[in-house]
Amino acid sequence: MANNIQVGKYVYSNMDLPMYGKILSFLESRKEGASFVTISGQKEMVSDFNGDIVRTQGKVKTALSNLRFRSVIQEVAVSHGYTVWKIANKDDALTLIAEAAKITGKIEQRNAEAVQLVTNDSALVSNNPKKEKVITMATVKTAKAPRLFKNPETSKIEPFGAGRPSKVKLAYECNQEGVFLNAANALAFAQQGGKAEDKLTKSELLDLVRKVRAERDEAIAARDQLAEILGEMNEVEKASQDAEVADLEASDENDDDLDLDAEAVDSDEEDEVEATEAE
């Protein structure tokens, strides 16, 4: 049976159809409509939620909101502070009622079969004067063979046990004879270095710690070495800058001496010109 069904333009879950069917059937029987309080107060509605009226009202409110969104029902009035609902799309409503009845019928049939099965089993046991163990259909249906796996560390066949199975159990799952249910998975898991419980052994964990510490020490040494190299480069660059500054200062002093010499030469030339004119 499909999990969903389409009615009109919308898809409905089979889990919600029984409640939709009850609500729409009730509204169909009341031409003037009904509020959610009246709908949720119906005996057959409350019984679905073990007599919990608060939970029933919450579920009915949600169902009415969904049906209104799909335009199956509509608000027509307000009575005593509560909205009164009536069917707006009769075709969709009747289809939902019919589909809900089908699902409800199948559920009731399965429940009746289960009750009959238990009744037959009880009669069979009661008619057994020696109280011998009787394997009934109910026992056969509920009994499950335990899932087994071949422990790669001990090569023993062991049950999965309670709880969520680990990766190694799933990979090495086998039958009672120890034959892997999926040999390809077991081989691939073994090639990847899979271990029981997917945990590191103590020796592997110690090796990992040593490796991490060695890598940390190497990183620290490399950092210190780089800092030393950068320090030497800074000293060389500083010395070079100091030399450039000294060269610039020396060049400025030479320029001053040249200016003084030029002034002296000019003065000598003027004296010679004056002497010549006097003669």
Domain ends where: 175, 198, 221?
198
pLDDT band at 113 (very low <50, low <70, confident <90, very high): low
Q: Are residues 89 and 165 both part of a single domain? A: no
Q: Are residues 94 and 188 both part of a single domain? A: no
Domain limits for position 233: 208-279
Share of the chain residues as helix, strand and coil, in percent rounded to the nearest 5: 65, 10, 25
Give bridge partners of residue 13 from the DSSP assignment.
Answer: 4
Within a domain: 131: no
Neighbours of 54 (CB within 10 A): 9
Of the listed ranges 47-51, 70-74, 151-155, 245-249, the least confidently predicted one is 245-249
C-alpha 48/C-alpha 153 separation (Å) is: 52
Question: For the chain, what is the domain count?
Answer: 3
Neighbours of 110 (CB within 10 A): 10
Q: Are residues 109 and 170 both part of a single domain? A: no
Q: Are residues 85 and 160 both part of a single domain? A: no
Of the listed ranges 81-90, 109-118, 173-182, 213-222, the least confidently predicted one is 109-118
Q: Are residues 89 and 156 both part of a single domain? A: no
The tokens for 149 are 């796996």
Q: What is the CATH number of the domain that holds 104?
A: 1.10.10.10
Give bridge partners of residue 6 from the DSSP assignment.
Answer: 11
User: What is the tens place of the pLDDT at every residue in 246-258?
Assistant: 777 776 666 555 5
SS3 of residue 69 by DSSP: helix
Contact 11, 5 (CB under 8 A): yes
Within a domain: 146: no
pLDDT of residue 69: 92
Q: Are residues 98 and 22 both part of a single domain? A: yes
Within a domain: 147: no
Within a domain: 69: yes
C-alpha 187/C-alpha 152 separation (Å) is: 11
User: What is the tens place of the pLDDT at every residue in 61-100?
Assistant: 898 999 999 999 998 888 778 889 999 998 998 998 998 8
Q: Are residues 175 and 240 both part of a single domain? A: no
Q: Are residues 49 and 87 both part of a single domain? A: yes
Q: What is the 3-state secondary structure (H, E, C) of 75-97?
A: EEEEECCEEEEEECCHHHHHHHH
